[in-house]
Amino acid sequence: MPVDDTSPVSTSNVAPSGAPAPSESVPASVDRRDFLRSAGAFAALMGAQTLLPGWARGGGPAAQGGLTALEPTRRVGNRVEYDLTIEKTPFEVAGERATAITMNGTVPGPLIRLQEGEEAVLRYHNKLDEETSIHWHGLLLPNRFDGVPQVNYPGVPPGETFEAGPFKVRQYGTYWYHSHSGLQEQLGHYGPLIIDPAGEQPHASDREHVVVLSDWTFENPYRVLANLKKEGHYYNFQQRTVGEFWSDVSENGFWNTLKNRLRWGRMRMSPTDISDVTGATYTYLMNGQAPGANWTGRFNPGESVRLRVINASAASIFDVRVPGLEMDVVQVSGQNVEPVPTDEFRIGPAERVDVIVEPSEERAHTVFAEAIDRSGYARGTLAPRDGMEAPIPDRRERPTLTMAAMGMGSMDDGEMEEGAMEGMDHDEMDHGDMSGGMEGNMASGDAGGLRPPGTLPAPVMHDPDDTHGPGEAGLPMTTRSRLHEPGIGLGDDGRRVLTYDQLKAADEKDAFRAPDREIELHLTGNMERFMWGINGVEFSDAAPIRIAHDERVRLTLVNDTMMNHPMHLHGQFMELENGHGARAPLVDTLTVKPAERVSFLIDGHEEGPWFFHCHILYHMDAGMARVVYVEPAPDSDEEFYYDLPA
């Protein structure tokens, strides 16, 4: 329900790699922790109303048959046109008022539904007092429509309109759209986009619900960023205690425990820094609703229900489960995979996971999305009728990073993971000191062949001389593939957890060949200074990564930091080398774990400059980004906005 708001949030637009100082016009607001402690918090949570489209509300008549899509502005033959209006709208969540950046008046924006094979025009009108943009996340479309200011176009000034299209829809699946201007995404500028396949849906269901996960803060996002730059641990209220020290002593011994604490101190890091921004300021939302509002998706007992889960958060990783129901994972990054039965999956910002559940009883089931650091959760309900609820699971204990998990363990600190040194022949190891090419981290000459199916890269000892300046802290001793690992805080309670190595493309690729060249990039950061980059270089100072037309490249990402980084390449899919050969799954976003090495195969077919970045909004804004420039075909007459350096 719209509310009067006399204190709108003030925002400023910046290029992808910078941020202004916090606006002085940001209104004072009730401290969220005080609010949640107040006597009226529970009532406010239960009674909160937000500006939501019909499909997100889930409980009304429109939800009975599935989803209510945004109606096309125009449809002529095989061409469809949609219009979006971007503006500031009063917004209420969990009993507090603010102003959101909405599309057609809602948070999330309306569901856009396209059909594979049709021609589409996606038109948006800027009614803000600042520049804006829309990036169509995961869509294969001409470079000029991709929506990143200073990369694909100059952005859309106040009062102006931009048309993405016409373009042919060349894919199917679950996607989304969001701003790429400053930190607008944190203020509600995002929405879901579904593309129905041209043929039959291989994993049909009786009903489906879109589940958009996000995070909301009543602080100005630029103030959040400024706080992180002052102190990287600013929002971490879950630091280790004296009691935990003595508990560790009883388990690992006094000297091992003391040595461990001193090592963390020397690195100026905290093993509880799982998320930069936490429930200390965030309210976690499901389809725009806080946990107490209880978004509800309906079903009839015995139906199969497809949940299209989209992580549209600015900075939050979620662990998702529906207690009491097995989930079959059928699609990831919008692409069909061989079904994987599981009980839980982790989803990073910008990732999408489609699952099918089959509730057979006349009872409610909680859809539970727990923040990775356990500081909060989003939740909704699957139920036969409105008003039904199921128990909300207890939050699990906050996980703690170990030295081994960060590739820094040793045999005498009580933390080296069992088997971590197995198969590591020092003479045969690639030490990562790849000479030649850009920034000293690109391989030159011919690339290695395809990895045999069923194998993953061997662990790699890090060359101690291969550092990346003050932008990198806490260099891991060893990096390795971790695609088989569920991730920190998961896998110890008997639940099955989806892992990346389980993903297998539904169909074998017609053409699957070895790469022509290899590129290795290191994800680097300094948590204390909140500096993030690639190879120790921020986006504003970085040269583009150049790929020749039709060149096949192996891109290896090495996470030298203690944080997870969901890395997204615009405009094309990447073949994840996870041991399945020609059945390698296609992804556009993948969360890279601390001290992990992960490789993708990319074909230089989609010409032009494409943004490549960490999808944690504050990491991207602080500099963890690049431009990947795919050279046009020799006979191409396409012109690009991006000014390619000589």
pLDDT digits (tens, 9 = 90+) for 29-63: 334 333 333 333 333 333 333 454 444 444 332 33
This prediction has a pTM of 0.83
Give the CA distances from residue 406 to residues 209, 327, 409, 595, in Å, rounded to whole numbers and listed in that order. Answer: 37, 30, 8, 5
Mean pLDDT of 522-532: 89
Q: pLDDT digit string (tens) for 612-638? A: 999 999 999 999 999 999 999 999 999
Backbone angles phi, psi at 377, to 5 degrees: -160, 160
**pLDDT over 90 for what percent of the chain?**
66
Q: Which residue has the higher pLDDT, 94 or 44?
A: 94
Residue 416, pLDDT > 70, answer no
Closest CA to 233 of 267, 263, 185, 261: 267
Chain length of the chain: 646
Mean pLDDT of 19-23: 35
Mean pLDDT of 101-119: 96
Mean pLDDT of 232-255: 61
Question: What residues contact 495, with CB distance under 8 A and at least 6 apart?
Answer: 321, 343, 344
DSSP strands (E only) in 141-252: 161-168, 173-178, 190-196, 207-217
Domain 32-201 -> CATH class: mainly beta
Q: pLDDT digit string (tens) for 118-132? A: 999 999 999 999 999
Mean pLDDT of 240-264: 58
| pLDDT confidence of residue 442 | 42
* Of 124-133, 222-231, 239-248, 426-435, the least confident: 426-435
Q: Which residue has the higher pLDDT, 20 or 162?
A: 162
The span from the CA of 644 to the CA of 384, in Å, is 56
Which pLDDT band, with edges at 50, 70 and 90, does 221 fall under? very high
| pLDDT confidence of residue 260 | 58
Residue 428, pLDDT > 80, answer no
Bridge partners, 630 (sequence order): 547, 608
| pLDDT confidence of residue 415 | 41
CATH, domain range 404-487+499-630: 2.60.40.420
Residue 157, pLDDT > 90, answer yes
Backbone angles phi, psi at 196, to 5 degrees: -80, 140
The span from the CA of 101 to the CA of 85, in Å, is 10
DSSP 3-state of 568: strand
Rounded to the nearest integer, the mean pLDDT of the chain is: 82
Residue 191, pLDDT > 70, answer yes
Which pLDDT band, with edges at 50, 70 and 90, does 560 fall under? very high
The span from the CA of 622 to the CA of 78, in Å, is 42
Residue 593, pLDDT > 60, answer yes
* Of 49-58, 80-89, 219-228, 249-258, the least confident: 49-58
- Here the tokens at position 118 are 């049709």
Mean pLDDT of 281-302: 95
Mean pLDDT of 382-409: 82
Give the CA distances from residue 227 to residues 21, 219, 236, 532, 551, in Å, rounded to whole numbers and listed in that order. Answer: 11, 11, 12, 15, 43
Q: pLDDT digit string (tens) for 539-553? A: 999 999 999 999 999
Mean pLDDT of 563-589: 97
Bridge partners, 603 (sequence order): 552
| pLDDT confidence of residue 158 | 98
Mean pLDDT of 470-497: 87
Domain spans of the chain?
32-201, 404-487+499-630
Residue 534, pLDDT > 90, answer yes
Residue 580, pLDDT > 70, answer yes
Give the CA distances from residue 290 to residues 45, 49, 410, 429, in Å, rounded to whole numbers and listed in that order. Answer: 7, 9, 43, 49
Give the CA distances from residue 324 to residues 91, 249, 614, in Å, rounded to whole numbers and listed in that order. Answer: 34, 38, 34
DSSP strands (E only) in 239-317: 282-286, 295-298, 305-311
One fold for 32-201 and 404-487+499-630: yes
| pLDDT confidence of residue 248 | 60
